[in-house]
Amino acid sequence: EWKMDSFVKRTVEELKAKIGKGRALCALSGGVDSSVAAVLLSKAIGKQLTCVFVDHGLLRKDEGDQVEAVFGPNGSYDVNFIRVNAKDRFYAKLAGVTEPEQKRKIIGEEFIRVFEEEAKKIGAVDYLVQGTIYPDVIESGLGKSAVIKSHHNVGGLPDFVDFKEIVEPLRLLFKDEVRAAGRELGIPEYLVNRQPFPGPGLGIRIIGEVTEEKVKIVQEADAIYREEVAKAGADKNLGQYFAALTNMRSVGVMGDGRTYDYAIALRAVMTSDFMTAESAQLPWEVLQKTTTRIVNEVKGVNRVMYDCTGKPPATIEFE
Ligand code: XMP
């Protein structure tokens, strides 16, 4: 699209002029905003940019590897890329913790700690890159982000990283414009089109204690669900759809035997602003196919339920 073409060219030129020979640091989450911001910077300053990607072990199936495939040494862009595989640290910190806000706090703090350690190794930089987009600017300006749940990745990083200035190349763009810019920059569709994913990740899609085993269960179930919904083309009007692991186990039967396994909850919502949402009427065939596959393919699950609740009174995420 011509408009994005000129946005990209202009922004890259502006960043070049501004940063010159300086160094920049970017916290890459794998989401569309930070990815597009990182690629703009890489076009402008190449290896003067370092991207730090903290893999907290709470990402969706294969997501860490996908981010590395795009930004890592075998990827498509000229940047320094550091992936920190920190899952053991996060799981250790989360052991025994069941209270949702406590879990969010732990994940947010640990994230900052890991990032800070990497930033120290890198040393002083001139610029910190943030993927702030226009709606974020408005929201924080109006002080609107009421604390129903703490959103750890809003305004989390700048305090402790040694830098001179923040650069926010997307601060005048809406989400669909960010996606268009991403396409213009050749970022793969699975990153450009990625649905929103919370900072605390699967940590808040596992009700109760987070364990490595539960992460695997929810990753597998969620991957099957997304695959089936996408295959059926049922994702067109959905704001978000995902599987969560309830903290409920129930009795089932398999062959001659009794099982006592977890229940997976499937959620799909339609929303314009994520402040309110409606549960989507997914085709029954899609739900059945997904259910059959989950109970057959994911060990430890013997029941699948669909969440019909809107927001309010429920929230989109489960914690
Ligand atoms: P809720 O569950 O509050 O979610 O209805 C509304 C939207 O916000 C996302 N969400 C988060 N995003 N960090 C984020 O970046 C977070 O801690 C967080 N918690 C919820 C959620 O996925 C949905 O899109």
- The string of DSSP letters for 161-214 reads S--SEEE-TTTT--HHHHHHHHHHTT--HHHHTPPP--TTGGGGSB-S---HHH
Q: Residue 315 pLDDT > 50, yes or no?
A: yes
Question: What average pLDDT does range 40-64 have in this prediction?
Answer: 97
Q: Residue 67 pLDDT > 50, yes or no?
A: yes
d(Cα 21, Cα 56) in Å, to the nearest integer? 32
pLDDT of residue 143: 46
* Whether residue 214 is found in the same domain as residue 174: no
Question: What average pLDDT does range 179-207 have in this prediction?
Answer: 96
Q: Has residue 198 been placed in a domain?
A: no
Return the CA Rg of the chain. 20
Nearest CA to ligand 1 atom 9: 198
Strand-strand pairing, 127-129 and 165-167: parallel
Please give the distance, rounded to the nearest whole angstrom, from the Cα atom of residue 177 to the centre of ligand 1: 21
* Whether residue 179 is found in the same domain as residue 31: yes
Q: Has residue 318 been placed in a domain?
A: no
* Whether residue 176 is found in the same domain as residue 38: yes
Q: Residue 212 pLDDT > 80, yes or no?
A: yes
Q: Has residue 22 been placed in a domain?
A: yes
Q: Has residue 315 been placed in a domain?
A: no
d(Cα 270, Cα 238) in Å, to the nearest integer? 5
* Whether residue 97 is found in the same domain as residue 20: yes
DSSP helix/strand/coil, 250: strand
Q: What are phi and psi of 176, to 5 degrees?
A: -65, -30
d(Cα 298, Cα 143) in Å, to the nearest integer? 43
Task: Output the pTM of the full model.
Answer: 0.92
d(Cα 307, Cα 218) in Å, to the nearest integer? 15
* Whether residue 213 is found in the same domain as residue 155: no
* For the CA of 319, the nearest atom of ligand 1: 2
pLDDT of residue 217: 98
**Which pLDDT tens digit goes with each residue over 262-283?**
999 999 999 998 999 999 999 9
The region of weakest confidence among 73-82, 86-95, 158-167, 244-253 is 158-167
Please give the distance, rounded to the nearest whole angstrom, from the Cα atom of residue 283 to the centre of ligand 1: 25
Place of tokens 């089109």: 193
Nearest CA to ligand 1 atom 3: 315
* For the CA of 240, the nearest atom of ligand 1: 24
pLDDT of residue 2: 67
Q: Has residue 319 been placed in a domain?
A: no
**Cβ of residue 240 lying under 6 Å from some atom of ligand 1:** yes
* Whether residue 18 is found in the same domain as residue 150: yes
Give the angle 185-197-77 at the CA atoms, nearest 5°. Answer: 25
Q: Are 134 and 29 in contact (CB under 8 A)?
A: no
* Whether residue 153 is found in the same domain as residue 216: no
Question: What average pLDDT does range 205-234 have in this prediction?
Answer: 98
Give 248's pLDDT tier (boundaries 50, 70, 90). very high
> How many Cα atoms occupy the beta-carbon half-sphere of 294 within 13 Å?
35
Q: Residue 144 pLDDT > 90, yes or no?
A: no
59, 160, 178, 301 from 201: Cα distances, Å: 6, 23, 22, 20
* For the CA of 154, the nearest atom of ligand 1: 15
- List the CATH number of the domain containing 247: 3.30.300.10
* Whether residue 23 is found in the same domain as residue 154: yes
Q: Residue 158 pLDDT > 70, yes or no?
A: no
pLDDT of residue 139: 73
Q: Has residue 252 been placed in a domain?
A: yes
* Among 164, 192, 220, residue at a domain's last position: 192
**Cβ of residue 306 lying under 6 Å from some atom of ligand 1:** no
Q: Residue 16 pLDDT > 60, yes or no?
A: yes
d(Cα 21, Cα 205) in Å, to the nearest integer? 43
Please give the distance, rounded to the nearest whole angstrom, from the Cα atom of residue 227 to the centre of ligand 1: 22
Q: Has residue 312 been placed in a domain?
A: no
Q: Has residue 313 been placed in a domain?
A: no
* For the CA of 239, the nearest atom of ligand 1: 24
Q: Residue 156 pLDDT > 60, yes or no?
A: no
* Whether residue 228 is found in the same domain as residue 166: no
pLDDT of residue 148: 55
Number of domains in the chain: 2
Give 187's pLDDT tier (boundaries 50, 70, 90). very high
Q: Residue 137 pLDDT > 90, yes or no?
A: no
**Cβ of residue 50 lying under 6 Å from some atom of ligand 1:** no
- List the CATH number of the domain containing 113: 3.40.50.620
* Whether residue 230 is found in the same domain as residue 171: no
**Cβ of residue 274 lying under 6 Å from some atom of ligand 1:** yes
**Cβ of residue 156 lying under 6 Å from some atom of ligand 1:** no
pLDDT of residue 121: 94
Chain mean pLDDT for the chain: 93
Q: Residue 52 pLDDT > 90, yes or no?
A: yes
**Sequence-ordered list of residues with C-beta below 8 angstroms from that of 27, at least 6 positions apart, any chain:** 34, 51, 52, 54, 115, 129, 130, 157
Q: Residue 215 pLDDT > 80, yes or no?
A: yes
Residue 215's domain spans which residues?
205-306
* Among 133, 164, 192, residue at a domain's last position: 192
* Among 143, 168, 192, residue at a domain's last position: 192
Please give the distance, rounded to the nearest whole angstrom, from the Cα atom of residue 43 to the centre of ligand 1: 30
* Whether residue 162 is found in the same domain as residue 293: no
Nearest CA to ligand 1 atom 6: 274
* Whether residue 165 is found in the same domain as residue 69: yes
216, 225, 231, 238, 269 from 285: Cα distances, Å: 25, 12, 12, 17, 18
pLDDT of residue 149: 56
Q: Which residues are annotated as a binding site for ATP?
A: 29-35
Q: Are 107 and 90 in contact (CB under 8 A)?
A: yes
